């Protein structure tokens, strides 16, 4: 992941990710901008924990295949260029395929309601389906 070498990406919190992932803040929410935009880089096979958002999260897949799953639904393999609009309160996870890294843009709107509610790790069985 040569793009990570410039220092603008920071390691994602290991308590919420399986494998290695990195985050680069593109726009930080503040008193004027009620939105947080980040680029997230996942090593092959890495993913975040199950989680929800108090408001919508929009994912824009930039590179690689994004594994995405909502609770009670089948795993989706999402190609670059696709956009996923995750509704408030929907329990889900996302990450890279086992064979290649994945980059996505994560847009969290209405950050005054909060950004993320982290839950349990995704099991190997859930990831491997």
In angstroms, the CA 51 to CA 32 distance is 26
2-128 sits in which CATH class?
mainly beta
Dihedral pair phi/psi, residue 105, rounded to 5°:
-95, 130
Angle at 8 between CA 6 and CA 13, to 5 degrees: 120
In angstroms, the CA 99 to CA 89 distance is 30
Per domain, the residue ranges of the chain are 2-128
Q: Count of alpha carbons within 13 Å of 103, Cβ hemisphere only?
A: 11
In angstroms, the CA 107 to CA 129 distance is 27
pLDDT computed for residue 129 by the predictor: 82
Confidence class for position 5, pLDDT limits 50, 70, 90: low
Residue 69 burial by CB count (10 A; 0-12/13-18/19+): exposed, middle or buried? Answer: buried
Angle at 47 between CA 10 and CA 12, to 5 degrees: 15
Per-residue pLDDT tens for 25-79? 999 999 899 999 999 999 999 999 999 999 999 999 999 999 999 999 999 999 9
pTM recorded for the entire structure: 0.91
pLDDT computed for residue 20 by the predictor: 96
Confidence class for position 6, pLDDT limits 50, 70, 90: low
Instruction: Check pLDDT > 70 for residue 1.
Output: no
Tell me the pairing of strands 117-118 and 17-18. Answer: unpaired
Instruction: Check pLDDT > 90 for residue 127.
Output: yes
* DSSP assignment letter at 122: P
């Amino acid at each position: 992941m040569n793009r990570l070498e410039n220092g603008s990406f920071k390691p994602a919190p290991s308590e919420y990710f399986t494998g290695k992932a990195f985050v680069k803040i593109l726009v930080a929410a503040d008193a004027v901008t009620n939105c947080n935009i980040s680029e997230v880089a996942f090593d092959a096979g890495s993913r975040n924990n199950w989680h929800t958002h108090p408001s919508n999260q929009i994912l824009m897949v930039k590179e690689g295949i994004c594994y995405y799953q909502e609770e009670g639904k089948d795993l989706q393999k999402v190609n670059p260029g696709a956009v996923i609009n995750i509704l408030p309160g929907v329990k889900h996870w996302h990450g890279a395929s086992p064979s290649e890294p994945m980059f996505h843009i994560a847009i969290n709107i209405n950050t005054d309601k909060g950004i993320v509610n982290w839950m349990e790790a995704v099991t190997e069985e859930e990831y491997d389906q």
